[in-house]
Amino acid sequence: MASSDLDPRPGLVRRLRLASHLLADASYDALRYWRHSFTAGARVQENLRARIAIGLHFLEYGMSLRDAQPGHALDRAMRLAADLDTYTRRFGPDATVQIALDALEAYLGFNAASGHDLPALRARVDALVGGADEGLRGGVEMVTASEIREKGRIDFLSFAEARHSIRQYSPEPVPREAIERAVRVAQQSPSSCNRQTCRAWIWTEREAVQKVLALQNGNRGFGDQLGGVAVVTSDIAHWETAAERYQGWVDGGMFAMSLAYGLHAEGLGAVMLNWSVSQARDRALRRLTGIGDSSLIITMIGFGCLPDELRVPVSQRKPLGYALALNQPLAG
């Protein structure tokens, strides 16, 4: 049976109405991408901060290769120094500047060590004003396989298998420290060129939690038990090209998953709460919370303390072959 035979096809008017909703919501996303990304040049601080992150990322990337080449990406280094100059003049020397300056110093050092002095870049960097030293670093560092294995030693499969979407909670308040540690876990998620576009907006006061949850359609039967709610966002202002238009959803999804694992690691319960909404609902949440137009709202996550005993869905995973296609033959 062809897949188009599975459901009766709606009439033309209904199909046109469905398609127009899709187009309206897609243009809501596209117009916001156009307004806030720097596809047509940087306009706001976050645009420039993102371009600085990309520039310094390429320097670190090049220096971290086994066959690292002196002089690689010099054009990027010069542009980074120029962006830092503009940035410090407009916004002052903050953490962004400090990290990028440290990376530029590392890049100059790396080149000098192989006999490549870069006088034009040296002069530009010397002219830049650094921020107060907050211990923020850029560049590359040596690590060993045994260090990585030692620090990462955990039965991750069993950790992941012990996580469930929790829909029963006990009423104790969630310690602030646990929330902070979970968000630090989320911050460790990979992000495109290390742009770190994501943020967890978290409410734990009952009235605020319930106001936020009132706009979400998937917490019936347990929302009133939640000890907190997180709204995960990703800032569109960090994206440069049209080709990156979905990157925020990817980075945001990864950040959200890490946050869920971070909460799980703190012994808390958590449940993803979809933000599959129309633009009217999306705007309503922005009005309530102050989340700006340039942020994509990725998902909500409800969380709280676990009761001693509770029921969870089995949520059986499909056989591995659904998720793993290993070494499939390639054409040609």
Ligand X SMILES: Cc1cc2nc3c(=O)[nH]c(=O)nc-3n(C[C@H](O)[C@H](O)[C@H](O)COP(=O)(O)O)c2cc1C
Q: Which is closer to ligand X, CB of 313 or CB of 319?
A: 313
Cβ 10 to ligand X shortest distance, Å: 26
Q: Which is closer to ligand X, CB of 191 or CB of 299?
A: 299
Cβ 286 to ligand X shortest distance, Å: 19
Q: Which is closer to ligand X, CB of 158 or CB of 315?
A: 315
Cβ 68 to ligand X shortest distance, Å: 39
Cβ 166 to ligand X shortest distance, Å: 8
Upper half-sphere CA count for residue 199 (Cβ side, 13 Å): 13
CB 138 within 8 A of CB 77: no
Q: Which of 125, 73, 127, 119 is nearest to 100 (CA)?
A: 125
Distance CA 179, CA 209 (A): 15
Q: Which is closer to ligand X, CB of 80 or CB of 273?
A: 273
Interacting residues with ligand X (CB under 6 A)? 164-165, 167, 218, 271-274, 299, 313, 315
Cβ 320 to ligand X shortest distance, Å: 16
Q: Which is closer to ligand X, CB of 93 or CB of 218?
A: 218
With vertex at residue 255, the alpha carbon angle to CA 63 and CA 140, rounded to the nearest 5 degrees, is 15
DSSP string over 14-29: HHHHHHHHHHHHHHHH
**Minimal CB distance to ligand X: which residue?**
218
Phi, psi (deg, nearest 5) at residue 72 = -65, 145
Distance CA 222, CA 307 (A): 13
